[in-house]
Amino acid sequence: MTVHIGAKPDQIAETVLMPGDPYRAKWAAETFLQDPVLVNEVRGMLGFTGTWRGNRVTIQGSGMGMPSLSIYANELIRDYGAKTLIRIGSCGAMQERVKIRDIIIAMTASSMSTPSRGIFRELQFAPCADWSLLNAAVQATKARGTPTHVGGIYSADVFYDERPDLNEQMTRHGILGVEMEAAELYILAARYGVRALAVLTVSDHLLTHEALPSEDREKSFGDMVEIALEAAFS
Ligand code: HPA
């Protein structure tokens, strides 16, 4: 047990999928894993461990935003020995060519700040995905024919953004989409020598203001879970 995770030491797998929403962790575990067992419910941040094609996997909610993700990722890596962490979540598109339901695989994650800002001080560290996971996820999306974009994303500190000028600069510089967790996950993976990736479903569009209809969310989310699982075990 750690401060925020109630699982016993051997109840967390080396491969962990991390959706922001704990109920998505429950849905994904019950839909895609064999014999899922609830291993954490501290603060309602549900985590489940089961198997996928014979491989042990944990699906643990991260909560929203980098400070929350940082707590869970730190404890998973440092206390439970997680070696592969894949964020699965939604994002807002920042390019016209990126459409609702498309998948974004985040090669890099820019930010204004992260919980690790205090370490880096004047250094503008460039958080990047693990290449082997990224490559495997791209192959998985190709095999399925899912429309996919690979490139930089933006990990924001706020959902209710007050800097339209900054969003314009990011669109101008090719940033594909915005979410709120990946940059810190990539930084922690670099710090502890483990693998990380973020596979995201486009749920809304900052330029066209479209949004994924709620009845489509489950199917789009399911594609992303399977891509993450295939990437983890390829
Ligand atoms: N901003 C931040 N995070 C998000 C968004 C957004 O527009 N959409 C999905 N996650």
Q: Where are the domains of the chain?
A: 9-232
Q: Residue 17's beta-bridge partner residues?
A: 59, 86
Q: pLDDT of 124-171, one tens digit each?
A: 999 999 999 999 999 999 999 999 999 999 999 999 999 999 999 999
DSSP label at residue 10: G
d(Cα 38, Cα 48) in Å, to the nearest integer? 4
d(Cα 7, Cα 134) in Å, to the nearest integer? 29
d(Cα 193, Cα 84) in Å, to the nearest integer? 10
pLDDT at residue 216 greater than cutoff 90 = no
CA 204 / ligand 1 centre spacing (Å): 7
CB 18 within 8 A of CB 69: yes
**CA count, 13 A, side-chain hemisphere, 6:** 12
CATH match of 9-232 with 3.90.1170.50: no
Catalytic residues: 204
Q: pLDDT of 29-69, one tens digit each?
A: 999 999 999 999 999 999 999 999 999 999 999 999 999 99
CA 134 / ligand 1 centre spacing (Å): 21
Q: pLDDT of 84-97, one tens digit each?
A: 999 999 999 999 99
The residue whose CA is least distant from atom 9 of ligand 1 is: 91
d(Cα 222, Cα 32) in Å, to the nearest integer? 9
pLDDT at residue 188 greater than cutoff 90 = yes
Q: Within 6 Å (CB) of ligand 1, which residues are found?
A: 90-92, 156, 159, 178-180, 203-204
CA 27 / ligand 1 centre spacing (Å): 21
Phi-psi region of 209 (alpha: psi -120 to 50; beta: other; left: phi over 0): left
